[in-house]
Chain A
Amino acid sequence: MRSSRRSPPKEAATRTYVARRLAIAALTLLGMSVIIFVLLRLAPGNMVDILFSTGGYVSESDKQSIMKELGIDRPVWIQYVDWLREILTGNLGKSYRYDLPAWEIIKPLLPVTIELAILSTIIAVLLGVPTGVISAVRQDTTLDYALRVFSLAGLSMPSFWLGMVIILVLVGWLGWIPPMTYVSPTENLKIHLVQFLLPALAVGYRSSALITRITRSALLEVMREDYIRTAWAKGQSGWIVIWRHALKNAMLPVITVIGIEFAFLIGGLVVTETVFNLPGVARFLVEAVLWRDYPVVQNLVMFIAIVVILSNLFVDMLYGWLDPRVRYGD
């Protein structure tokens, strides 16, 4: 065990591990593409029907020609293979609704969602880690109970409702209406930040609950270890033991959770972007779903899946880098 931890075998083991994980990720994504594709084909009413219901009566031949133009008259499996080929070549297909390449619509929306996701994560960590630490250190006191209820409350409120309440409070008590149309950072940085901080607060508070929980339980576990007792015995002051000795090791599971939460976060953004009227990918996904814009939904969902799977892989790698005891392989 000891000798096998020296660098060359470990590096090789890591490489095989990464290769295996990547292969599994690729398989997972392939499976996901099948599921997404089939699911969307189950949907009652296709794009043409929707276009026609809004446009009034149109002759059957027109309908056929439009279906042909959109390529949805061909056998389903050919459509699937086509789609896969498009994804692999980086061509994300064309949006039915906007008559534009999907990528061109999605590209300008990405920074909005990424910014929101990063801000929310920062808020979640800033809120979650200290709460968890205090909760663990003051285990079973009133403060611990209060903090746990606080974080559980965050997990219980729908983030879109929390967003609405934040807006209501701002308007009702402060008489200040946050700008509800998107302002780019180059236009007015201050308004832009305020605009992003509010939804990030709503989403971040919710995400912080899980971080609080994991920090608390990880810290409680670590504090029972011998080396912590040694540190206490040496007479080191309380907070130094907690911050320097205990938290270092307690942070590992927390980092995993932050990675896993990424998926959770995107779920939260779906509705929050809608409430705060931010032109991000998540809001666009909702619109595309409502419009049955197949190519856009397919590609966006695939995109989300890729991001989630890669972030999970990344976190696992990070874990091994931060904790040399973690070994990859079987």
Chain B
Amino acid sequence: MATEPVGVTVAEVELVAPGMALRRPGLVTIVWRFCRKKPLGAAGGLLMLLIVVAAIFAGVLATHDPIATNATSTLARPSSQFWLGTDHLGRDIYSRILHGARVSLIIGLGSTLLGSVLGGIIGLLSGYLGGKTDLISQRVMDIFQGLPLLVLALVMAAALGPSVPNVIIAISIPIIPRAARVIRSSVLTIREMQYVEAARGLGVSHLRIAFRHILPNTMGPFIVLCTAQLGSAILVEAALSFLGLGVPEPYPSWGRMLSVSAAEYAQKAPHLVLFPGFAISLAVFGSNLLGDALRDTLDPRLRGA
């Protein structure tokens, strides 16, 4: 130890000195702190985790084939054989809900990520470059925001035709302007910070500043945005499938399980309507709870409010 040159130690102390004296807390600590401070958000996270597990292990957890029809047991009440009953074609609702979680999550996550990433890039460039780029992209975003999310998705879905990738695209389009707006506004603040100025002074290229120096600092609002949009993406998917414009048969989808054919039997077999709706509501509720708590934690403007 004594042989170590003194200078090195001094340099290390200086490097570590002001802000970084505290070690960055590990993931477990972060999660634990979050759970303690935001019990509702943690509950939402747990709910989402459950749904993700259900979606991944749908094949193992399901008791029946979700698409197999069974003429002898149509509209069966919930029982030990059919935990949540069967629909008008004798398909097991419990198994269909599990497999439906896959569709809802794939479409929800897919469209949220696609929309947020595209919107995020537009927001980043528009906020960083400013000027004409900003003006034009903001006007274009205005155009897309002039329509209700569902109406735009409806027209898009009808235009593209029913398939999983098409539904993802249709739902992601209305998310783009929302993401662009959120990221742009945080880029506008970050752009003026001293470290960005310093990077520019060092001759770092604009593209590198935008993506390496500014982008990582917009992650907070970005995560918040994604969680918040996930809920509405799942809802829009449900509505589109309900209207017959979503995922085509034979994929079981929560929205289509509620569609007109189910409504016809609702009086005779209320479980047909109740359970898929519960599934949608729980998934959206979970992502809303989590999104709210994340916003309080990650968005510095709202901290303490």
Contacts and interface: CB of A to CB of B under 8 A. Distances in A.
Contacts of A43: 158-161
A44 B161 contact: yes
Contacts of A31: 139-140, 143
Contacts of A308: 146-148
Contacts of B284: 155-157
Contacts of B292: 152
Interface stretch (B10-18, B26-34, B182-190, B272-280): B272-280
Interface in A265-302: 266-268, 270-271, 274-275, 285-286, 289-290, 292, 297, 301
Given A160-B239, A271-B242, A301 B281 contact: no
Contacts of A322: none
A32 interface: yes
Chain B contact surface mostly: helix
B34 to A, nearest CB: 17
Contacts of B62: none
B154 A152 contact: no
A168 B148 contact: no
A42 interface: yes
B42 to A, nearest CB: 13
Chain A contact surface mostly: helix
B146 A32 contact: yes
Given A145-B40, A286-B243, A264 B148 contact: yes
Given A44-B161, A153-B285, A35 B266 contact: no
A42 B170 CA distance: 13
Interface residues of B toward A: which range? 35 or more
B258 A161 contact: yes
A46 B108 CA distance: 29
A32 B143 contact: yes
Interface residues of A toward B: which range? 35 or more
Contacts of B180: none
Contacts of B244: 290
A160 B255 CA distance: 10
Contacts of B242: 158, 160, 271
B75 interface: no
Interface string A2-45: 00000000000000000000001001110110011001101110
A82 interface: no
A164 B147 CA distance: 26
A268 B282 CA distance: 19
A310 to B, nearest CB: 10
Given A156-B288, A286-B154, 15 more contacts: A24-B139, A35-B144, A39-B156, A43-B159, A152-B285, A155-B231, A160-B239, A161-B238, A165-B274, A168-B267, A268-B150, A270-B150, A271-B239, A289-B158, A290-B245
10 contacts: A31-B143, A42-B159, A161-B238, A161-B280, A168-B267, A267-B150, A290-B158, A301-B151, A305-B147, A309-B146
